Structure 1
């Protein structure tokens, strides 16, 4: 005697992996009716149907509601089964090679991961706002991504995105820092003169500020003459003073910025010291003294000549007066008065 048993309400189960299969846990042993499971994607409201023995690859991190049913005079449905397949992708990525302008990341889906069976359509990579990267698929479950055009000595947050069934998933996020590089040093050199034989050098006053592209370092200044370094100095800031240089001489200036990692960048310039103002003043004083002495000598000589001429003139005038006196003496007759001599003669005296 054949007895028809009343239909049972199906109970379904789903192992939350990708891929997986649905199970009808309370299926009657003699039931051969087709059993269909319909799943609704809550994001896009897409409904898809699966059989009991089908390999089911649902989308990760997506909420689904699934219902099984079979026909027995009328459709008999199972209870609703709601679930979301979560994937632990972050542990699968790691940074590999890096440079001052690029980073390289590898990602592989691990076998023990519940989402290891996803066959990815493509991969892409980005680091902050830089999207100049490419990913090469080594298989449907692994990739190596490289991104270029990054700045030196900077920390970036990088992301690898996997795409499957036209849906993007951020499968890895990690932080890494590019290596250091030579500084970006394009400052203009400004030179002033604290004294006539000194140079005061400054940079970073005009033009762009230095970008160290590494740990902040030091500045080194060199003063060169005919290609040879004659003096140098190192400072934390780009401010240097060099004294006791030659006057009115053109020197070469080299300023090197060296970051903490040892990378360096160089700028060059030229500067000329001023004339020796002290020597000029000394020469002028000497010239004034010599000129004064010469002038005094000329005045004294002129005075001496005039004095000599005056004395000579006086002597000449005295000789002329003597000559006049002699002429008067010669031309005037000379009277000689002789005293009378008395002689006694007879009774009286006679005069001669």
Structure 2
């Protein structure tokens, strides 16, 4: 018996031989066959002859072990031994799609987790999860466990994540999730620091200008006062007028007279001397 397998069907072909009746098998139309792999599958006969035939057994599950056989019958009675073969159908598309959970732990980071409880219809040791980020171009990750993290994304942008199960041959239908990255807090903080710094610098400049103007005004006042004082000091003092000569009053002394003035000279029509007594007459 020969067979051809696919992921959901098996094709069997066989040839009947007999030591005693081999020459007349092709004329025995009352020779029949039972063909099945299990009671739940459908069997469709494509070609049947007394000396053999072929059939397609459909409705099978991918990557599943089956024991298939053909039982010859003659006039409805079982004859000879049943011929059986054990085989596994080919891998197929994994059932279902992953359940996806998307979170945003940081402002421009997306974290993805998923679960898949359906049959992967392929070897478990080859099972992998594939995550694709849209928009993101070639931003794709492939892991054995369904935990992904996409970093350095654009701020304030909506992303869609598609996750599939891969069994080494086929991918499942994608499970999807969406997330929206937050604003760039670092840029906002930097901008606020810049504004505060600029405001402080402006205040400092204004204060410096006011202080400089005040000091300039003070310097100008001091310079004016100094100039006025210098001019006052440099002005010539008035000389007292010379006393008129008096012929009627003349003092003749043998020795010079020492006179000490205790008051300022007062000038009127005549001159009066207030003198302290300090004469030395010889």
Question: If the TM-score is normalised by the length of the shorter chain, which range does it land in?
Answer: 0.5 to 0.7
2:6 match: 99
In 2 relative to 1, CA 114–122 (structure 1 residues): closer, same or farther, beyond 3 Å? Answer: closer
Conservation of the 8 A alpha-carbon contact between 2:112 and 2:147: yes
SS in 2 for 1:189: strand
1:264 aligned partner: 171
1:200 aligns to what? 111
Structure 1 Cα separation of the partners of residues 200 and 250 of structure 2: 96
CA drift of 1:210 comes to 5.1
Q: Take 1:212 and 1:103, find their aligned partners in 2: how far apart are those partners?
A: 20
Q: Secondary structure at the match of 1:199?
A: strand
Q: 2:41 aligns with which of 131, 142, 155?
A: 131
- In the other structure, the counterpart of 1:150 is 60
Q: How far 1:102 sits from its partner (Å)? A: 0.4
Distance 2:205 2:249 in 1: 89
In structure 2, C-alpha distance between the alignment counterparts of 1:257 and 1:101, rounded to whole Å: 19
2-structure distance, mates of 1:209, 1:346: 148
Matched, 1:181 2:92: yes
Match of 1:211 in 2: 119
TM-score, normalization by structure 1: 0.50
Q: Unaligned stretches of 5+ in structure 1?
A: 1-93, 316-337
Alpha carbons of structure 1 residues 168 and 291: separation in structure 2 relative to 1, 3 Å: farther
SS in 2 for 1:291: helix
**Take 2:249 and 2:161, find their aligned partners in 1: how far apart are those partners?**
141
CA contact (8 A) 2:98 2:163 kept: no
Range that drifts further, 124-133 or 146-155:
124-133
Structure 2 CA distance, aligned partners of 1:293 and 1:164?
108
Query: Structure 1 residue 275: deviation in Å?
Result: 2.0
* Pairing 1:285–2:193 present: yes
Higher relative contact order (CA 8 A, sep 6+): 2
Quote the Cα distance in structure 2 between the aligned partners of 1:106 and 1:112.
20
Query: Which residue is 1:56 aligned to?
Result: none
- TM-score, scaled relative to structure 2: 0.60
1:302 & 1:346 partners in 2: Cα distance? 73
Measured in 2, the distance between the counterparts of 1:177 and 1:224 equals 38
Q: Distance in 1 between matches of 2:210 and 2:13?
A: 106
- CA separation of 1:194 and 1:126: change in aligned 2, threshold 3 A: same
- Of 220, 223, 235 in structure 1, the residue corresponding to residue 130 of structure 2 is 220
Matches within 5 A, 1:329-348: 343=246, 345=248
Check 1:193–1:111 CA distance in 2 against 1; reply closer, same or farther (3 A cut). same
Structure-to-structure mapping, 1:151-170, within 5 angstroms: 151-161=61-71
- SS of residue matched to 2:59: coil
Select the residue among 168, 179, 184 that pairs with 1:276.
Answer: 184
Measure how far apart 1:213 and its partner are.
2.0
Any idea what the Cα deviations from partners look like across 1:191-220, whole Å, max 9, x if unmatched? 22343222222222xxx4353322232333
Q: 1:351 to 1:160 in 2, by over 3 A?
A: closer
Structure 2 unmatched runs, 5+: 222-240, 252-268, 272-282
Inter-CA distance 283–191: structure 2 relative to 1 (3 Å threshold)? same
Relative to its length, the structure with more helix (as a share) is: 2
Alignment of structure 1 residues 321-336 onto 2, 5 Å: none
The alignment covers a number of residue pairs equal to: 232
- Contact 2:104 / 2:179 at 8 angstroms: preserved in 1? no
